[in-house]
Each structure stands twice: as C-alpha cells, then as structure tokens.
Structure 1
C-alpha cells in the first residue's frame, strides 16, 4: 500500500474536489494491479501473438511510471505543475484501461455470455473506468432526486451506455437506479432522458419447477383520475421539473393520447407529444400515468 500512501501525501493539502477524483481513479488502478495476473492471462488467450511490455504489463508499468512522476512532482518547485503531471498520467491510464476492457467485451467471444462471472467482472470494471467525474455524477443524482420529488432518495450509479455500433465512442449516456426504477442520464446535460422499471431478475424457476419472485414495485391503480385529469398531471409534471428534464413546451408539439386497460381494470394513460419529422427522425416525449396518478415511465426523445 506504499503507492497509495505516497499518492495521498502528495494531494493531502490539495482541493477536496480534485482529491476525490484522484482517489476514485487510484482505487481502480490499485485494483487492476492486484488482478494483473488473471487479466494478463486473459489478454494472452485472446491475443496469442507476442505483446509489448506496455500492453501485457500495463498496471506494473504504470506503477513504476507513477512513482517516477511522484518523485518528480515532489522535487519540483511548482506544485501546480506536479499535480497536473500526475493527473494527466492517471487520466491516460484510465483511458488505457477503458480501451482494453472495451476490446475484450466487444471482440472476445469468451465474454459474450453475460451470465458468466467473467463477463460480469469485466463489465463492472468497464463501468467503473467509464464513469463521469464525481462532480458530474452529483449533478445527475440531483436531477433524479428532483425528478422523483424526493431530496433524500437513494440513487446509485450503474454504468455508462456503450454504443454497440461504435464501441470506441465516448459514452453519451449513464444509467442510475433508485428503488425499482432505472434512470438514463444525458452526460452532456446531466438531465433525465428516460425512467422505466428495472425488470432484471424479477422471477426465476426453482429446481422443483415452481417459480420464485423477487420484490416488485407496487403501482397505484385506484380510479382517481380520468384521461383528461391525467393529461393535466402530465403537463404539470413537465412544467414543475425543468431542472431535471429541461425546458419543454408541449404547446409546440402534437399530442397523441392512448389508454391501456390491463388485467383487473388496471388503467394506464399514455401521452405522446411529437415534433416534426426531420430526416426520418420524429422527436417525441412519452409520459405514462396510472389512473391512480402514479408515474409509470418517462421517455424524452425530442433530440437526436
């Protein structure tokens, strides 16, 4: 743990925001060093040809390089320059790790089964190194709490969203979860662009053939609102949540309304505001409420 102690001592008197960001990266680096042997074997399996020292021994190479930079930073008379140099190295390593994991997850056939622990561990690491800076995530969490009208809501970062057609592209969206719902956040604006129910692992089959069910979200289907009243709820939601979803004027869009009558008269009202189609793309905003006035899902596709 000497490396960790050296890093902490260098940044002990620096601003709290920068220190938190460095520590987050540092945690990932140390984790990669501890797991280097297993990861090195996986990389060798996928890339049988001889590798450069930088590719196969990246964590150790970084550790040595970082120590050199640290000693250089400590000896320099310019603390700002020292901090900048170290931060650059950390960011470069973060990008290297992200690229390495992206390659494995996108191209290695052994990572295609998403139910294996091998895939889950690699995906977890990719999510960690691909996350926005802590201060940006704070903005996303604040937006979700505003969206829910719950200032104390427990919100957890899940992952960045890869573009399957452009795996090397910087993620434009991140996902967070709060209770039973998943939120998609635009990383450029830190605003909510989608909210929907998390349906992962809601049920399964036991050995005897019986089914098990995990705890599920309970919706209010008490017949309190008709369609016109639910439409007003949707308009009020748009108006009162500019901080979390951005400024939207429904009057500039064409409204479509739908009614979904499920089992046991569980009615949901679906409102879709559409803009003008441009180049095959039709911008639209979708909001669904139960007849009890509970928000079911939200989707903002008003922008490409």
Structure 2
C-alpha cells in the first residue's frame, strides 16, 4: 500500500496525481469539473479516471493507502465540506461519500488552500520549517496554516481564511463573501486591478497603465518592475495592505515561515521583497524575523498536499 492519489477539485478542472511513497509523483492529469447541486456526478467521473490510471499502471485499489482530496470550501475536523460556492454543492461529508462511490478507503478531505499549504510544507518551500502560513494570491486570496505538520482547520473549517480579514472599515463595495473591506478586495488579482482602475480615475499622474486596453495584475506588476511611478506607488500600497494582514495573522498563529503562492506570486522576488518590507515595518518587533519564500509547487501544490494527507497518516 505504498501508492495514493492526490485529487484537487477546482471550479474548472479536477487535477489528479498518482504518488508513490518511495518515488513521489508518478503521473498527473486533469479532467473538467462537472458542476451540479450535489457531488455524485463528479465523484463518478473521478472514480472512472482513477480506475483508468490504476489499470494503465498495473495497480489495484488494494495497492492504495488512500485518496486525498482538496475541495474549494471550508472543511471541518470531522470531514464536513461546508458548501462549494464555485461548484454548487451544499454541506456534504465528501470523504465518506467518495469512499462508497469510488470503493477506496480512507478518503481524506481538506480545504484547497489549506491542502496546498500542506503540499508546500511537505514537498516545497516549507520542507525545512516546523510551521508556516501560506497566502495564495489569485482570483481570490486563500490561506492555510500548518503547525507541526498538521493543517489548522478550526471549529468551522475557516482557520487560515486570511483573504477575508477586514482591512478597511470605510470600504463601500462588497466583497464576493458579502462583507466589505476584505483583504481579497485589494490583494487578489481582480482586487489589484480594481485598486489600479480607481487610482487611474482619481489622479492625473502619467502612467503606461493608461495605455493598456485590458489591465491585469500581471501588467500592473510588470509596469512597476519597469519603473512606472504610478504602478510602483500602487504595488507598494497593495503590498502594505498585504503585509499588515500577514502581520495580523502572525499575532495569532506565529508561524516560522510565510509562503506566497498563486498566480500573482509569479511577479517573483520583486513582489516578495515589497510584501516582506511592508510586513517588517508594520509588525510587533518580536515577529520581524519570519522567513519569507515564494511557493515552489505552483499549480501542483494541491495534489501534493492531498497526497501528504494520506501518507502522513
């Protein structure tokens, strides 16, 4: 039983990885996500895909130590997935349902951001530390805390949801979660674009950003790297908000390392240095020596973390 599957369920695709305890990732692939009011149709697709992979590799279900699954919603300690906004499910004990449908036991379930953090902790940027906070900057802002090798889930499955820390009590626009002033409204990719578009309307400062027909977070960071004054001002503002949010989170969990992941993190060391500097300038002195790193596993962090859930048992 040295094999397992890591499965990362996303709003568009489901990513799979076949792992060996000895050799690591053996194969990876993905299928489209079948959406609906409950998970049975998608679990049937996952079952077929897993069985095809086993057959191709000359393996049986009995060779598996289990399956790990990352899902886009809060997951409680007892394995209840508390709804998936992007797919359409309500509350479901997804692991138990998957065990019955797929015919493999155990199936471990975790929130996608938290599982990605476990992947980075076990196989990626955090291999040398005992604890970390991972912040993913993409369509939203996700977060995960790993303490002594375990995912911190919390009573309602929302521990680590740094994207919904309130950063501006005077914000008038709503976040996707229904609140106002969330970190996600400033530090997600769409949030960064929102910040930039507001600035372009409210200032006459010259900027190459004015000549971009479809502004994106990547184009904003690229312009800042090339020395555009307004772009640099905006990225410093965004970095300060993110740095302060990370400082606030560190007061609660005090991790050894901060890992930045997600699509926006591809701005690289330029972004990392700005966020770390903002963090140091706005944090309690005893917390200033945290290690900062960029995620290494990129889009594979979810399947690696899902596999880690199995092998760590």
**TM (normalized to structure 2)?**
0.25
* Higher share of residues assigned helix: 1
Return the TM-score normalized by structure 1: 0.26
Looking at CA atoms only, which structure, 1 or 2, has the larger radius of gyration?
Answer: 1
